[in-house]
């Protein structure tokens, strides 16, 4: 075993000592793998950025109550009777008056500044209680909207991404005209892409008076969620679901990020098939160029297995080098670039986010490249280990 390890090390040393004589084919193979890694890491980073946008601001202390059948706020509807029963159940569970925000949620269209298309943008109706529940809420410019008036405040990201959302701009919601009076920011990145206004007025504007889409409240302790859910379950009129804000946003982001990742791997596999053939050709040329030297080593007692393993190591290392180069290029070109996409799980609203080339994306790119190297190295390595017998140097 020790002798074979020494032979593998000697073969690897010989391979890298002679790489300068075949630098051309090696570079072609490395660039082929790098292009695959560049695409894969970039697409995975897109999914990672989308997921981070949804999960970065979700609070584990903020409880969200929706209709049991709803998959998102847009599909939920809580009437006045249910809201009253929920408030009673919460009060009975916690024994004290809690800050509760009954909120409406709709969708309007706005024009992207980056390209001349209209996209769906979320419009949230809430009161002072709702603003107090949002961690890090701060008014950046203008003033707060006044209750009972058709006034809006817009998130900083929405103001940056969409046209006609500056202070004093007029926005058409339903059949009514609303005026933007302020711009805000908060810790929740998704909320920074929303438009906020008076809940009651928005409900009437969208012909949903007397009901809201969701109810938010702060959890005093982690255990208080169990008490609230137990209290709600005792009232058979209430068919609702409870999630923390963090759980809710994680659910909304999961499907979309999986779809993005699957697309990335499908494209990478297609490109990888081409890269494998390029790498096979490169390694075959490498073996051909060294056939005399390898034959001499066989004559000196080198076995077939160390030759096979050393060619495999060389192929995988070239592939990993290409993978790291592609990931580095992806980071330098795309990391932090702002994008916007439609979230199919969250009411088909547009979600602005930034590409995030993180360590996991880079590791996945390197692992995928290594797998390409393994597949590509099998045939040249097997041919090299067998070729020497045909040249008469023994088996």
Q: Which two tokens stand for residue 235?
A: 């009232």
pLDDT at 229 over 90: yes
Instruction: Quickly state the pLDDT bin for 347 (edges 50, 70, 90).
Output: low
Which pLDDT tens digit goes with each residue over 172-213?
A: 998 889 999 999 999 888 889 899 999 999 999 988 888 899
Interatomic CA distance for residues 4 and 382, integer angstroms: 17
**More confident: 24 or 240:** 240
The distance in angstroms from the start CA to the end CA of the chain is: 18
Rounded to an integer, the average pLDDT of 348-357 is 79
Domain extents in the chain? 2-56+252-389, 70-238
Indicate the SS3 state at residue 66. Answer: strand
pLDDT of residue 50: 81
Rounded to an integer, the average pLDDT of 218-228 is 90
Interatomic CA distance for residues 130 and 151, integer angstroms: 16
**More confident: 147 or 352:** 147
* Residue 393: DSSP 8-state: S
State the Cα angle at 26 between 25 and 29, rounded to 5°: 85
pLDDT of residue 344: 60
Instruction: Quickly state the pLDDT bin for 14 (edges 50, 70, 90).
Output: low
Residue 5: partners with Cβ closer than 8 Å, 6 or more residues away: none
pLDDT of residue 388: 47
Would strands 211-212 and 78-79 be described as parallel, antiparallel, or unpaired? Answer: antiparallel
> How high is the mean pLDDT of the chain?
84
């Amino acid at each position: 075993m020790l002798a074979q390890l020494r032979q593998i090390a000697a073969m690897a040393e010989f391979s890298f000592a002679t790489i300068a004589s075949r630098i051309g084919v090696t570079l072609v193979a490395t660039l082929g793998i790098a292009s695959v890694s560049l695409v894969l890491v970039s697409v995975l980073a897109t999914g990672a950025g989308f997921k981070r946008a949804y999960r970065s601001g979700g609070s584990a202390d903020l409880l969200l109550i929706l209709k049991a059948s709803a998959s998102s706020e847009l599909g939920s509807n809580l009437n006045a009777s249910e809201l009253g029963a929920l408030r009673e159940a919460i009060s009975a569970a916690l024994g004290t008056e809690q800050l509760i925000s009954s909120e409406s949620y709709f969708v309007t269209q706005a024009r992207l500044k980056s390209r001349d298309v209209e996209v769906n943008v979320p419009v949230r109706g809430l009161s002072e209680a709702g603003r107090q529940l949002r961690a890090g809420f701060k008014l950046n410019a203008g003033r707060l909207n006044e209750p009972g008036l058709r006034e809006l405040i817009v998130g900083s990201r929405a103001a940056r991404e969409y046209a006609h959302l500056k202070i004093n701009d007029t926005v058409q919601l339903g059949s009514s005209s609303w005026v933007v009076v302020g711009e805000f920011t908060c810790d929740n990145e998704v909320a920074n892409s929303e438009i906020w206004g008076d809940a009651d007025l928005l409900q009437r504007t969208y012909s949903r008076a007397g009901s809201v889409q969701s109810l938010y409240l702060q959890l005093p302790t982690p255990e208080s969620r169990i008490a609230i859910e137990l209290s709600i379950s005792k009232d058979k009129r209430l068919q609702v679901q409870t999630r923390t804000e963090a759980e809710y946003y994680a659910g909304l982001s999961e499907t979309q990020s999986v779809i993005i990742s699957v697309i990335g791997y499908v494209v990478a596999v297609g490109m990888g098939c081409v890269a494998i053939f390029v790498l096979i050709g490169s390694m075959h040329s490498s073996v051909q160029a060294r056939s005399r030297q390898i034959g001499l080593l066989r004559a000196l007692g080198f076995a077939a297995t160390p030759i096979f393993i050393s060619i495999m190591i060389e192929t995988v290392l070239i592939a990993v080098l290409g993978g790291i180069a592609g990931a580095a290029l992806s980071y330098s070109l795309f990391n932090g670039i702002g994008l916007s996409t439609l979230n199919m799980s969250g009411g088909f609203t547009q979600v602005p986010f930034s590409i995030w080339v993180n360590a996991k994306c880079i590791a996945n790119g390197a692992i995928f490249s290594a797998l390409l190297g393994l597949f590509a190295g099998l045939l040249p390595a097997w041919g090299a280990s067998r070729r020497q017998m045909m040249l008469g140097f023994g088996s």
